[in-house]
Structure 1
Amino acid sequence: MKYAMLIFGDDREWTALSPAEEQDLMKQVYEWFERWQPTGKIADGGAELQPRDTARTVRAGVNGQPVLTDGPYLELKEVIGAIVILECDDLDEAARIAATWPLGAGMSAVEVRPVMSHE
């Protein structure tokens, strides 16, 4: 079954890192992928998202008309910064793999959710 691993954090912390700190954290991320890629547990290599100030949000407005706003939904400290799709036997296994993610500046939490299948 597929599980979405959502990586949350404050992207302002990430952009405040020195080049050396960013390089060190990215090294840890690459090592994580090197650990799990050969096991077949990573179904999709994932995607790192641009900072929140590049986002646009579409919501239903008055009379159902779409309203476009800058930035992500609501005023949140943590936003989704990346997503990785895992292939695991169950939610417990996906959570165990997610627990090995290298948390650090700009990456303070990981959420794991089953991906819906309409087959």
Structure 2
Amino acid sequence: MQYAMLICGDDREWAGLSPADEEAAMTQIYAWFERWQPTGKIGNGVELQPRETAKTVRAGANGQPVITDGPYVELKEVVGSVLVLDCADLDEAVEIAATWPLGPGVSAVEVRPMLSREEG
């Protein structure tokens, strides 16, 4: 079964890192991938650009979409990356996610089962 691994945190913390600290954090992240990619448990993933580049679409009072800059203003934690895990069950997916390096800019890793809507 597939699970989404959402890496959440305050992307402003990441942006404030010195080049040496960013390199150290990336070394940990690359080590995580080197550990798990050979197992076949990690599928596709994406790293998202900072919140300042985002647009949010919400329903307006008149039923028309309202578009605003970035995520909700008061949010401190945003999704920064999404990975797909291929695991036997939720416990295995959580076990893998729990090894993600919780460094600067990362406050949580959420694991959610992915829906599969097969056409019949």
TM, length-normalised to structure 2: 0.95
Whole-Å Cα distance in 1 between the matches of residues 110 and 35 of structure 2? 19
Amino acid at match of 1:118: R
Match of 2:9 in 1: 9
Whole-Å Cα distance in 1 between the matches of residues 58 and 117 of structure 2? 25
* Percent pairwise identity: 72
Q: Residue 23 of structure 1: SS of its match in structure 2?
A: helix
Amino acid at match of 1:47: V
Classify 1:19/1:86 alpha carbon distance in 2 versus 1 (closer, same or farther; 3 Å).
Answer: same
* Alignment partner of 1:21 is 2:21: yes
Whole-Å Cα distance in 2 between the matches of residues 102 and 60 of structure 1? 36
Amino acid at match of 1:87: D
Can you give the 5+ residue segments of structure 2 that lack an aligned partner in the other structure? none
Can you give the 5+ residue segments of structure 1 that lack an aligned partner in the other structure? none
Amino acid at match of 1:68: I
- Where does 1:35-114 land on structure 2 (aligned, <5 Å)? 35-44=35-44, 46-114=45-113
Amino acid at match of 1:75: E
Deviation at 1:74, TM superposition (A): 4.7
Whole-Å Cα distance in 1 between the matches of residues 84 and 72 of structure 2? 23
Deviation at 1:108, TM superposition (A): 1.3
* Alignment partner of 1:34 is 2:45: no
Whole-Å Cα distance in 1 between the matches of residues 72 and 110 of structure 2? 18
Amino acid at match of 2:92: E
Q: Residue 104 of structure 2: SS of its match in structure 1?
A: coil
Whole-Å Cα distance in 2 between the matches of residues 2 and 53 of structure 1? 30
TM, length-normalised to structure 1: 0.96
Give CA-to-partner distance per residue, 1:54-112, whole Å, 9 cap, x none.
11000010221000000113511110000100000000000000000001110111000
Q: Which runs of 4+ in 1 moved over 4 A?
A: none
Q: Residue 8 of structure 2: SS of its match in structure 1?
A: strand
C-alpha root-mean-square deviation of aligned residues, in Å?
A: 0.8
Q: Residue 22 of structure 2: SS of its match in structure 1?
A: helix
